[in-house]
Amino acid sequence: MKLKDNIQFGLIIFIVVGIITSCKVRQTIEHYPDFTGYTSEDFKPEIQKVHDSLFTYHSNYLLKNRFQQWELYLEGDAMERGIIGGALMDSLMRYQEDAFVEKIDDLVPNKKKQMRLLKFLGWYNRKIYKYFPNEYQVELYGLAKYMTSEYNYIGPAYLRNLYYHGAHDIGHALVDFSMVQCTSAGLWGSRSADGELILGRNLDFYLSDRFAENKVVLFVNPKEGIPFVSVTWPGMMGVVSGMNYEGLTITMNAGKSKIPWTAKEPISILARNILEHASTTEEAIAIAQKSEVFVSEALMVSSAKDNKVVIIEVSPKNFGVYEVSGEEIICSNHFQSDSYRKDKRNKKRIETYHSMYRYERMQELLDENSPITPTKMAAILRDKDGLGGKKIGYGNEKAINQLICHHGVVFKPEKKQIWISTSPYNLGAFTAYDLNEIFGNKNTDYKSHHIDSLTIPTDSFLYSSEYANYEKYRTLDKEISRWLKDKEAVINTDMLEEYRQLNPDFWYVHYNAGVLYYRMEKYEKARDAFKIASDLEITTTQDKEEVMKMLKKATKKVK
């Protein structure tokens, strides 16, 4: 996410907070889940620590595999799953919440403004519990028993847990948050190497390096419902990428939203509900139609039973389903169904954003690599170039792989197989799992169930000088961002030029350099930097307009 997005986020929140806090809204809980029929909330499992990378309780376990992924297996009713999951992950959940709050401190360092933000969130989330199925409220309640009390100033643990599960939607709704931009595709028939369904997706969600450190491959065997696997992070029980034991898969892609007045059902909770209770696309559509959401989202759903892929497009006041007559379907961050053809926000997204560019690049890559295998799909998800193979700079949001990816996933629903990327980004090995093995047999051996013979190797880019330069660029980018925020900062021009050389095809580095040179009244250097930026692949129409405006200003100063 770019610096300007952080600034937008803060400004809009503070404007809204200034209005809302005058109402003196109190942050209270007026509702708890209905615990009837569930294991007692006083249940306390005795976790066995086998070693630093393996923790167990009966059939439940948490282990770290040799690829540094955490694998978590949970079974039982909602309260059992919540409490056992919390007991197994307590230190990981603490680390994750620390990372989340650390990001809040980074975005909003002023404590008084933080408290205003928290009051606003309390008001905004005041009815969110009404849109969580009771089963998931119970599970969240169980998890919350193992959350730290250090952040009780944000809210009691259970309330915080509800907030966190709506955090993606809130940020996305308030400023069309561009920290989430994903690309996915599904193929079958002649477009798939074996004729069976194959799907791939990147979750280009980035909060911080620390937040992305502990990835969790979560296997859930519920007392009622369909067993499933979800790719997630500690404490997150909603679903962003997953497949169930019936061969149904689901992934989510953010769409263009307007600002709602209250939080409703988070998209990750809707996705979880579908994954746990649907085996066909028709059942998934029926669940989605009953949901009340507060942001716009596209859910790509495939079903082995149907041999079919659909995109369910949901928003607060509209609903659509997109299907194709061919043998492939692509999803980025705009809607495609008839229900949204006249939608002004969706049209603007297509015209000004980078969603259509990534869509077209995905189409190119699928055509070039057809028929698609899991290994080819992983390579496509790792592609860092622009249309026609053009070099557009590492980290450019027009690329399929923006080098911020929380995870990449490949699905083979009919075989019930899933491949999940390991760090960093989606460049590490893709580990393979077979749900037939995991849920078809009783797990008593407490060992990783990844399948070595199906592992997709690490991307060679990870060992290249280009990658080393990219990581140096990311380090320098933090310093450049500090300079851009602090008008009194002393700017090291040698460092600024190194910053540009480390990622020379990325328009953003030259734009930033131009802004800083302009501030230093080095107008000729500023003009030249803006000119270079203007000739490169700029991310959005708004960014292009900003670059051209600054180029014009700098040129006038030179004359």
Could you report the per-residue pLDDT of 285-323, keeping only the tens digit for each?
999 999 999 888 999 999 999 999 999 999 988 999 999
Cβ-contact 33, 206 below 8 angstroms: no
Strands 198-203 and 407-412: antiparallel
Residue 136 pLDDT > 80: yes
Which of the four pLDDT bands, split at 50, 70 and 90, describes residue 263? confident
pLDDT of residue 258: 65
Q: Rounded CA gap, 246 and 275, in Å?
A: 9
Q: Is 46 exposed, middle or buried (0-12, 13-18, 19+ CB in 10 A)?
A: exposed
Q: Rounded CA gap, 515 and 2, in Å?
A: 15
Q: By mean pLDDT, which of 194-208, 402-416, 512-526 is the weakest?
A: 194-208
pLDDT of residue 172: 60
Token pair in block for residue 329:
């379907």
Residue 31 pLDDT > 80: no
Q: Rounded CA gap, 315 and 297, in Å?
A: 6
Q: Rounded CA gap, 73 and 57, in Å?
A: 10
Residue 553 pLDDT > 80: yes
Which runs of E-coded beta strand occur in 264-343? 297-303, 308-315, 318-322, 328-331
Peptide bond into 424 cis (omega under 30): yes
What is the reported pTM?
0.92
Which of the four pLDDT bands, split at 50, 70 and 90, describes residue 103? confident
Beta bridge partners of 180: 205
The highest-confidence range among 127-131, 404-408, 417-421, 489-493, by mean pLDDT, is: 417-421
Average pLDDT along the chain: 89
Cβ-contact 509, 500 below 8 angstroms: yes
Which of the four pLDDT bands, split at 50, 70 and 90, describes residue 26? very low
Peptide bond into 371 cis (omega under 30): yes
pLDDT of residue 15: 37
3-state secondary structure of 279: coil
pLDDT of residue 105: 77
Token pair in block for residue 466:
């280009």
**Total residue count of the chain as it appears in this document:** 559
Q: Rounded CA gap, 397 and 358, in Å?
A: 8
Strands 308-315 and 318-322: antiparallel
Residue 513 pLDDT > 50: yes
Q: By mean pLDDT, which of 268-272, 290-294, 465-469 is the weakest?
A: 290-294
Across the range 158-174, mean pLDDT stands at 76
pLDDT of residue 27: 43
In angstroms, the Cα distances linking 373 to 191, 376, 431 are 9, 5, 15
Q: By mean pLDDT, which of 108-112, 251-255, 406-410 is the weakest?
A: 108-112
Cβ-contact 67, 450 below 8 angstroms: yes
pLDDT of residue 131: 86
In angstroms, the Cα distances linking 496 to 221, 364, 510, 525, 537 are 53, 35, 9, 12, 21
Residue 179 pLDDT > 70: no
What are the phi and psi torsion angles at 406 (to 5°)?
-70, -45
pLDDT of residue 14: 40
Which of the four pLDDT bands, split at 50, 70 and 90, describes residue 22? very low
pLDDT of residue 171: 62
226: left (phi over 0), alpha (psi -120 to 50) or beta: beta
Cβ-contact 5, 177 below 8 angstroms: yes
pLDDT tens-digit series, residues 58-99: 999 999 999 999 999 999 999 999 999 999 999 999 999 998
pLDDT tens-digit series, residues 495-506: 999 999 999 999
Q: Rounded CA gap, 74 and 217, in Å?
A: 11
For residues 399 and 182, which has the higher predicted lDDT (pLDDT)? Answer: 399
Cβ-contact 266, 169 below 8 angstroms: yes
Which of the four pLDDT bands, split at 50, 70 and 90, describes residue 382? very high
pLDDT of residue 2: 45
Token pair in block for residue 98:
């620390």
What are the phi and psi torsion angles at 507 (to 5°)?
-55, -35
For residues 180 and 5, which has the higher predicted lDDT (pLDDT)? Answer: 180
Residue 441 pLDDT > 90: no
Q: Rounded CA gap, 230 and 242, in Å?
A: 4
What lies within 8 Å, CB to CB, of 558 at 6+ separation is 523, 524, 527
Strands 54-57 and 48-51: antiparallel
Residue 110 pLDDT > 90: no
Q: By mean pLDDT, which of 163-172, 439-448, 479-488 is the weakest?
A: 163-172
Q: Rounded CA gap, 255 and 541, in Å?
A: 17
pLDDT of residue 493: 96
Residue 277 pLDDT > 90: yes
Residue 360 pLDDT > 90: yes
What lies within 8 Å, CB to CB, of 526 at 6+ separation is 514, 515, 517, 518, 550, 554, 557
Token pair in block for residue 187:
């193929």
Give the single-character DSSP code of 239.
Answer: -
The closest of 429, 427, 435 to 411, measured between CA atoms, is 435
Across the range 417-430, mean pLDDT stands at 96
Q: Rounded CA gap, 248 and 37, in Å?
A: 28
